[in-house]
Amino acid sequence: MWYYILNMPDFTHFIEKYGYIGMLIWFLTFDQITPIPEEISLLLIGYFCANHIFNLFLAGATCLVGFVAVDTLYFHLSKKGSAFLKKKSKNSGSTFIKNWREKLKEHMPRTLVILCFIPRMRMWGPILAGSMRSPFRKFLLYDSIGLCLFTIVYLSLGFVFHASLSTIMAKMKGWQHVIFIVAIIVIAVIIMIFIRKRFRQKNETA
């Protein structure tokens, strides 16, 4: 697991080589099977934008398209009763599923936005909404709002981090990128600890 986080230069090379298409491919495919949190990927892309490798608005739009496409797929698969998603839901504990299902019923907009900002929880929004057979247009609207906010926040953090770091490290050229990578790894570790703690609590209450 930690190999993927520590091996972030591969992610960097992939995105730099394939550009915006690479971003889209990443979030549509590799992001779904690697343990690298989406928050980390967005921070890195924001950092690239600050280095003038990508346009911030085009990068944000590309990431958003990838997120919406994946969530739409999860929604429809869940709605059709995908065996894989049913098994995933079953393994996540009945109490966990029941709690978020109830929250979606009571207030879908707020719940979908909240799920976007909880590490490795975003996918449960479309899965639960699809299994509940929620109206697709309603789901797509609220999910897109949450994803838009999520994308803006983390891209901006990556962009602002670079700007702040550039000021601090004006006289230490060459160390700027090293410090950023170290900071990203620290954030990744914190997120992973949060995810493990959440799953441990979920298993205890299941």
**Angstrom distance (rounded) from CA 105 to CA 4:** 36
Alpha-carbon distances of 177 from 11, 44, 69, 180, 202, rounded to whole Å: 15, 11, 32, 5, 37
Q: Which residue did the predictor score with more confidence, 132 or 92? A: 132
Given a cut of 60, whether residue 192 has pLDDT beyond it is: yes
In this prediction the pTM is: 0.73
Band (pLDDT 50/70/90 cuts) for residue 59 is very high
Residue among 109, 101, 156, 157 at smallest CA distance from 133: 101
User: What is the model's pLDDT at position 68?
Assistant: 96
Instruction: Give residue-wise pLDDT tens across range 96-114.
Output: 778 888 889 889 999 999 9
Given a cut of 70, whether residue 10 has pLDDT beyond it is: no
Given a cut of 80, whether residue 45 has pLDDT beyond it is: yes
Instruction: Give residue-wise pLDDT tens across range 146-186.
Output: 999 999 999 998 888 766 655 544 554 555 556 556 666 76
User: What is the model's pLDDT at position 3?
Assistant: 39
**Mean predicted lDDT score pLDDT of the chain:** 78
Taking a C-beta distance cutoff of 8 angstroms, is the pair 58, 19 a contact? no
Band (pLDDT 50/70/90 cuts) for residue 198 is low
